[in-house]
Amino acid sequence: MSDIVVFIAGIVGTIGFSVLFGVKPRHLVFAVIGGAIACGLYLLTDQLGAFVSSTIAAFIVTLYSELIARVRKAPTVTFLTPSLIPLVPGGALYYTVSNILSKDYDAAQTYGLTTLDTCLGIAAGILVASLFVSLFLNIKKAIKNKKSAA
């Protein structure tokens, strides 16, 4: 499948999940932009492997979601959850289960490892970005407290 078709499908999937997830209309465009960023970054870094490309995309989308949540005065999860939908390894998981049921265990193992790599990459990207944001906010708060104490 061409990258453009995958990119458009990622955006459409983000729109659908945003509506299903109950994202308010005033936040919908920003959630979809996050999904476009995630899908685009994944496609640009796909040659680096499932783990690395998922980690990079999840990291950037988490930073984006944290920033937009503060600008839009909304919870981060409003933007983060729909934005990560294009990264979910649905196809790999489907083929993992399908190959298990067909008793093609070599193919199941290959797809299963891809599924696992993608899931771990998403988790790693979210965790590292969240740690950076938390560290930044703590430093900012400490500087503010130090200035007000002086």
> Model confidence over 31-60: pLDDT tens digits?
999 999 999 999 999 999 999 999 999 999
pLDDT band (50, 70, 90) for residue 148: confident
Q: What is the rounded average pLDDT for all residues in the chain?
A: 95
Domain that holds residue 59: 3-149
Tokens of 95: 């083929």
Query: What does the buried/exposed string (b/e) look like for 31-46 if buried means 16 or more CB atoms within 10 Å of the residue's CB?
Result: bbbbbbbbbbbbbeee
Residues with Cβ within 8 Å of 57's Cβ and at least 6 positions away in sequence, in order, are 37, 38, 39, 41, 42, 45, 87, 125
The helix-helix angle for 105-149 and 90-101 (nearest 10°) equals 150
